[in-house]
Amino acid sequence: MPSKRERELARARFERQQERRAQRRVRNRYLQILGVIVGVVAIFALISFQSNSPDPIAAQPTDSAIPAPAAISTNAPIPGCETPPVVRANNITFGSATADLPTASTFAIETNCGSIALTADSKAPTTVGTIAWLVNSGFYNNTSCHRLTTQGIFVLQCGDPAGDGTGGPGFSFADENLPTAGADGNYIYPRGTVAMANSGPNTNGSQFFLVYKDSPLPPNYSVWGSITAGLDVLDNVAAAGVLDGSSDGLPSQAVVIKNASTTP
């Protein structure tokens, strides 16, 4: 039978073991909590990074980076720009394009910040014809260029009669002349490219974007033209930045298409 001393030593060992086990449980619990905190911080960091990155070239109402309907900067015009005319106050739609689309080889866009000349891409006949039909119908007159991006991708987006990224002509048409992706899944849309904005495959409407600096994007946007004159207009607007100081949103310098025209 164990002596009193042996029983005391055994009890002491047991108590030390229990204390060490308790310490391990506390330590493990601490590490679990720390792991959860680190995970949450990482998720918020990722969300923050994504929210600060330029969105795809969307034409949809869920794009939170797009300003409010019919919004336009009221800042004093920068050198080279005039006070913009009154923009269209609502989303006027045309319903459908005609069966016999017109042909166009060039487009002229007159804005309050200067003229932009475009040459049509023959590899996108339906897109060019649809845009030409809208131009000839006066659809783009007094519409604002509602979105400027200045980080990651470098574009000015125009062609929305609603003025907030949600508007269109009331119809959509299929993608055309899509570029080929590179090894990273993107395509570098070169400076001077003109392409359609969309909210998914085959959802082209009236919105388009003008690339003022090489921009890596998924190859999901129909290329229908190139800028032959007026890149200095885009550079001037881009230099003024985004109205709220971010890298994606309403241009600080309001840009309004006063009128547009085509040549066959």
| In the block, residue with structure tokens 């005391």 | 8
Per-residue confidence (pLDDT) for residue 68, from 0 to 100: 36
Query: What's the pTM value of the predicted model, to 2 decimals?
Result: 0.76
Print the domain residue range for 63.
54-263
What pLDDT shows up at residue 214? 98
Q: Are 122 and 159 members of one domain? A: yes
Q: CB-based contacts of 98: which residues, under 8 Å, 6+ apart?
A: 133
Q: Do 21 and 103 fall into the same domain?
A: no
Q: Among residues 27, 52, 77, which one ends one of the domains?
A: 52
Are residues 155 and 182 located together in one domain of the fold?
yes
Total tally of structural domains belonging to the chain: 2
d(CA 14, CA 202): 73
Specify whether 116 is located in the same domain as 105: yes
* 21 and 142 belong to one structural domain: no
Integer Cα distance of 73 and 243 in angstroms: 7
Residues 6+ apart with CB under 8 A from 23: none
Give the residue from 130, 139, 166, 155 showing the smallest Cα distance to 216: 155
* Same domain assignment for residues 96 and 5: no
Residue 106, beta-bridge partner list: 119, 263
Q: Are residues 137 and 240 in the same domain?
A: yes
Residue 39 pLDDT exceeds 90: no
Report the CATH number at residue 259: 2.40.100.10
Residues 108 and 236 in one domain: yes
Among the three residues 30, 52, 74, which one is the final residue of a domain in this structure? Answer: 52
Read off the tokens for 125. Answer: 């006949």
* Pair 132, 102: CB distance under 8 Å: yes
pLDDT reading at 37 higher than 60: no
**Which of 86-90, 198-202, 240-244 bottoms out in mean pLDDT, i.e. has the lowest?**
86-90
Q: Give tens-digit pLDDT for 178-230.
A: 999 999 999 999 999 999 999 999 999 999 999 999 999 999 999 999 999 99
pLDDT-based confidence at residue 94 (cuts at 50, 70, 90): confident
DSSP calls for 200-220? STT-B-S-EEEESS-EEE-S-
Q: Does residue 31 sit in the same domain as residue 146?
A: no
Reported as half-sphere exposure (CB side, CA atoms, 13 A), residue 86 has a value of: 3
**What are the CA-CA distances from residue 164 to residues 182, 192, 199, 239, 246 (Å)?**
31, 24, 14, 21, 17
